Structure 1
Amino acid sequence: MQNHMYVFPARKFQIQTPGSTTFTCISWMLNRGYVAVGGSDGALRVMLLNLDQDKSNPPSSLNPWLSSQQLEGHSSSGMNIVRKMFENYLHSVRVLSWNEVYQKLASTDDAGVIIVWMTHGPDESWFEEMVNNRQKSTVSSLKWSNDGMKIAIAYEDGQVIIGSVDGNRLWNKDIGGSLTKIAWNTDDTLLLLGFADGEVHAYSQYGEFVSKVKMLCVENMELETALSKDLKKDVIVSMEWYVPPHSSKIVTNVGGGQSLTQQYRNADTSYNLIGDESYNNTASRLKVPEGRPPFLVAYQNGNIQLMCNENISKGVSIVRLPSTLIIMAQWSPDGSMFAVAGLQLDLPETERNVLHFISAYGERLQSIRLAPGHFAGIAWESSGHRLGALIDTNIYLVVIKFPYRWTYCGQTLVFAYKTLDSLQEVLVFYETKMEVKTKRYVQNLCSLKSYGDYCVTIFRTEELRGAYTMQLCDSIGTPVDSHTTNVPCSVVAMNASVVIVASTESFIVWHYSVPRQENTVTVSTGFQKTGNTNRNIPPDQNDKVHYIDEHRTEKQQQPTNGVTTDPICAIAASANFFLIACESGILYRFSLPNVQLQSTFKSNIPAPKLMTINCDGSRLALIGKYNVLRLIDLPKENIFTPILTFERREVWSVEWDDAKNDLLALMEKQRL
């Protein structure tokens, strides 16, 4: 299903720093919510952000921090033992890595000093546990193993050191090349090493060479493109293997009372869903679906390679971000997508800071521009609904609104969520008047849509007769009709007699049947129950695949290379017609039930992401690529009249009233 998630910067947290500190890195602990930022002059600060969403207090009146502690180990004002060991040194903190299991923080600076920090006491203050300096090279990357038992350290001179969580060196090896990144695989049996020349090698957990990972995104790249705009072809900026974070083995606040981290979690109540058993205030621990790539390698030049494992023979996706200098990429807490921080070099200098959100399969979901300044990095918050972007001395809290799968039919709220202990999803039919829940356990749910007293659920089934199954259900979840198709379900629309399903290039119209009943109008919804059975529709009509290219004019025709460059991105249905929108902004109007093209209209709205038609089919509400809501009057089948006096920005959802043709509800940022 096409993702209509909405992303916006909600708050700015300013970090008070002495002098002219420039921050260089950020990391957010998923299990307890601590944020660490490091920078020049040895600056290192560990904080708990105040995420309280109490609307009665304006943001300016809220204390931005629940706690904030400056750690002095990397600075000249650090502890005596550090000053004695490393006299007259003052360096920038370069890399931060949290141990989620044992609640430790590892930090390193450009002098090669590594410090491991841990908390102590009821106030959860941080202190140095271990200090190390090889004094021969700079640390380019360090990562704790997923079980928290080991730490892998990669040096620029090619040395790799593996240490235990209690400080013992397990082994070290000279790899024989300049290293830039290091990562552990799912079960910590492999180490992935990224080299300065862009190559990636796999080693066993004991340091034995296993294989060279084939990087198709580099090998298939044109040299001219690689060298353009001063972007180096082979600089790896991020290499991450997603693994659901392990639970902490450390019990905090043994003395009783409410700890700082408990206050942090209690403040974060804004995203709980009715019946969503998977939600909690700590990191997502959902199982990873088979076939979903967990291994990511991002290059500075805008190329990203996604892999299911280190073996290139299995699913590989390549994402290319043109004219983009990637700063870093990071998986979301549930691994379903990743965020890419970068500089868009073809934009004015004050608009270059961009943030991309891309699915684990390589589908681009959303992009936003951020405030100008030195963009140092990003870090996800544990719920996956927020992300911190470090720019200059500020953390910009970016909020992600996901397109939850839900709908409303009759008096029943229908929604789906994933369980923690399996890859199954729970489909819930919640009858709001009697407050009765009916649950169904399903797999591969793609979409939910409703009209009147019925809803359609669409599943990916991969059966011989069709890859997708559409199932019509009543308000208590009982299936009353079904149909299969091979058209991928990207966008869906529904009215009293048909369901329209579209991919990026084609669509089908399913004339569904419902049980016969008298013509009545329900009091709760205002919809007319027609007892529609669609008996007069030819059987092959439901199976006919309509291609949008067949309806383009000569000027709108696509190149004959088999690739649709103007894909379908939104659809909407009324009683006797439906609309299809393409990325170029062209709208196609088709009649129902015979599916004939009535007219086309070239709007000035690029890439419409959501369309909905009012109850009498006289007006269209349309949200474009940049979350601007506009209205278009539809007085006749061949007339589209934009209402130029109406425009609302930062809108991510809109619904018309079921009975009044001039009343609608919309969501602007976090306001209804």
Structure 2
Amino acid sequence: KQITLVQWNEPYQKLASCDSSGIIFVWIKYEGRWSIELINDRSTPVTHFSWSHDGRMALICYQDGFVLVGSVAGQRYWSSMLNLDATITCGIWTPDDQQVYFGTSNAQVIVMDVHGAMVSQVQLPVDSTIRSMAWSCEKFKMEENEEGEPASSSHFSPTRKEPFILAVAFKNGLVYLMKNYDDIAPIHIWTGMQSLMLEWSNSGEYLAVAGSRPVEVINEAGYRIHEYFNSLYFYNHRGVRVLNIVIPATASAVTALTWGHNDKRLFVATGKMIHVGWVSKRVA
């Protein structure tokens, strides 16, 4: 079995991991050792897992169309079997944790509220699969109340001059920047890459997009071999590219991307390799 995804919960200091068979483990550090706190097994592959921004809830998407929302302690709040002619590829929380968005393999965005009621189903005009989606908001809300527990979203009032932007990445290399799921005039970004991974910086200022282009080269022995040209692009909220970097690895395509250390680091994985970028705005 292979580990297919990991998701860190910063407010509650827990780690969720999932393997190729669909078993989800939630890990917690206890007396200096990592221990399994919860196990969830539907014997069905998981396509995506996402913690809510306050860390209190988990959203799980399965290959067969089953979706589930539960508490950080393992209590199931609601679940639903979405009978679609497509696979759910990703699921995310809105910035206020009041709705969940699902992306599908036929470019649909399905919107449900925090209680599991259907809100909307929108067909995006793209003949491709939605690979991932991300809002330009803080990944986690770290306010605390008097008891020291993470505050609920009702106590959280971020001050922002501009609305949050939803980035949607498609398998064909296209990225949409949308103000909402029903935005009729999204910004189009054509990356020219495949296997797109994207994530907004925690400040919401920059969108990092990593991807690959398969290339065929002749090696020293004269044989044709398949390699990957991997790149990392940075865009602002208007879709303007502000920087591009070549990732120095050709054996594997990009498999993961995440910001860290309060936007001072960027981690990109290509197969078994992890590339760490140091981010500094003071360097011209």
Deviations 1:482-513 (CA, angstroms, capped at 9, x unpaired): xxxxxxxxxxxxxxxxxxxxxxxxxxxxxxxx
Deviations 1:523-578 (CA, angstroms, capped at 9, x unpaired): xxxxxxxxxxxxxxxxxxxxxxxxxxxxxxxxxxxxxxxxxxxxxxxxxxxxxxxx
Q: Find the aligned partners of 2:71 and 2:46 in 1 and give their Cα distance.
A: 17
Equivalence for 2:197: 328
1:338 to 179, 189, 207: 207
Equivalence for 2:257: 378
Q: Find the aligned partners of 1:97 and 1:248 in 2 and give their Cα distance.
A: 20
Deviations 1:121-156 (CA, angstroms, capped at 9, x unpaired): 2x3x31110011012x21101111111111111111
Higher helix share: 1
Say whether residues 1:205 and 2:114 are aligned partners.
yes
In structure 2, give the amino acid aligned to 1:297. V
Higher strand share: 2
Equivalence for 2:134: 240
Q: Find the aligned partners of 1:95 and 1:248 in 2 and give their Cα distance.
A: 27
Q: Find the aligned partners of 1:400 and 1:234 in 2 and give their Cα distance.
A: 32
Q: Find the aligned partners of 1:127 and 1:366 in 2 and give their Cα distance.
A: 41
Equivalence for 1:625: none
Equivalence for 2:189: 319
Say whether residues 1:356 and 2:241 are aligned partners.
no
Q: Find the aligned partners of 1:401 and 1:106 in 2 and give their Cα distance.
A: 30
Q: Find the aligned partners of 2:214 and 2:242 in 1 and give their Cα distance.
A: 21
Deviations 1:19-57 (CA, angstroms, capped at 9, x unpaired): xxxxxxxxxxxxxxxxxxxxxxxxxxxxxxxxxxxxxxx
Deviations 1:423-478 (CA, angstroms, capped at 9, x unpaired): xxxxxxxxxxxxxxxxxxxxxxxxxxxxxxxxxxxxxxxxxxxxxxxxxxxxxxxx
Q: 1:351 to 1:173 in 2, by over 3 A?
A: closer
TM-score by length of 2: 0.84
State whether residues 103 and 132 of structure 2, in contact with CA within 8 Å, keep that contact through their aligned partners in structure 1. no
Equivalence for 2:45: 138
Q: Find the aligned partners of 1:195 and 1:384 in 2 and give their Cα distance.
A: 29
Q: 1:321 to 1:346 in 2, by over 3 A?
A: farther
State whether residues 256 and 268 of structure 2, in contact with CA within 8 Å, keep that contact through their aligned partners in structure 1. yes
Say whether residues 1:99 and 2:9 are aligned partners.
yes
**Aligned positions of 1:438-517 closer than 5 A:** none
| Coordinate RMSD, CA, aligned | 2.3
TM-aligned CA deviation for residue 351 of structure 1: 5.8
TM-aligned CA deviation for residue 248 of structure 1: 7.1
State whether residues 326 and 343 of structure 1, in contact with CA within 8 Å, keep that contact through their aligned partners in structure 2. yes
TM-aligned CA deviation for residue 241 of structure 1: 2.1
State whether residues 195 and 255 of structure 2, in contact with CA within 8 Å, keep that contact through their aligned partners in structure 1. no
Deviations 1:149-182 (CA, angstroms, capped at 9, x unpaired): 1111111111111111111111111111221110
Q: Find the aligned partners of 1:346 and 1:393 in 2 and give their Cα distance.
A: 19
Q: Find the aligned partners of 2:228 and 2:22 in 1 and give their Cα distance.
A: 34
TM-aligned CA deviation for residue 392 of structure 1: 3.5
Runs of 4+ more than 6 Å apart: none
Equivalence for 1:592: none
1:306 to 177, 185, 188: 177
Equivalence for 2:154: none
Q: Find the aligned partners of 1:351 and 1:111 in 2 and give their Cα distance.
A: 28
2:271 to 392, 406, 418: 392
**Percent identity for Structure 1 against Structure 2:** 29
State whether residues 169 and 197 of structure 2, in contact with CA within 8 Å, keep that contact through their aligned partners in structure 1. yes
Deviations 1:577-620 (CA, angstroms, capped at 9, x unpaired): xxxxxxxxxxxxxxxxxxxxxxxxxxxxxxxxxxxxxxxxxxxx
Q: What is the aligned residue count?
A: 260
Equivalence for 1:296: 167
TM-aligned CA deviation for residue 242 of structure 1: 3.1
Q: SS in structure 2 opposite 1:157?
A: coil
State whether residues 169 and 196 of structure 2, in contact with CA within 8 Å, keep that contact through their aligned partners in structure 1. no
Q: SS in structure 2 opposite 1:352?
A: strand
Runs of at least 5 residues in structure 2 that lack an aligned partner in the other structure:
146-156, 218-225
Deviations 1:61-84 (CA, angstroms, capped at 9, x unpaired): xxxxxxxxxxxxxxxxxxxxxxxx
Deviations 1:246-284 (CA, angstroms, capped at 9, x unpaired): 11769xxxxxxxxxxxxxxxxxxxxxxxxxxxxxxxxxx
State whether residues 16 and 24 of structure 2, in contact with CA within 8 Å, keep that contact through their aligned partners in structure 1. yes
Q: 1:310 to 1:99 in 2, by over 3 A?
A: same
State whether residues 376 and 392 of structure 1, in contact with CA within 8 Å, keep that contact through their aligned partners in structure 2. yes
Say whether residues 1:175 and 2:82 are aligned partners.
yes
Q: Find the aligned partners of 1:301 and 1:288 in 2 and give their Cα distance.
A: 32
Runs of at least 5 residues in structure 1 that lack an aligned partner in the other structure:
1-90, 219-232, 251-284, 405-651, 654-672
Q: 1:373 to 1:346 in 2, by over 3 A?
A: closer
State whether residues 327 and 377 of structure 1, in contact with CA within 8 Å, keep that contact through their aligned partners in structure 2. no
In structure 2, give the amino acid aligned to 1:389. V
TM-score by length of 1: 0.37
In structure 2, give the amino acid aligned to 1:116. V
State whether residues 61 and 88 of structure 2, in contact with CA within 8 Å, keep that contact through their aligned partners in structure 1. yes
In structure 1, give the amino acid aligned to 2:237. A
Q: 1:386 to 1:169 in 2, by over 3 A?
A: same
Q: Find the aligned partners of 1:164 and 1:300 in 2 and give their Cα distance.
A: 31
Q: SS in structure 2 opposite 1:401?
A: coil
Say whether residues 1:120 and 2:14 are aligned partners.
no
Q: Find the aligned partners of 1:287 and 1:301 in 2 and give their Cα distance.
A: 35
Deviations 1:286-305 (CA, angstroms, capped at 9, x unpaired): 744324x4211101111111
Say whether residues 1:160 and 2:78 are aligned partners.
no
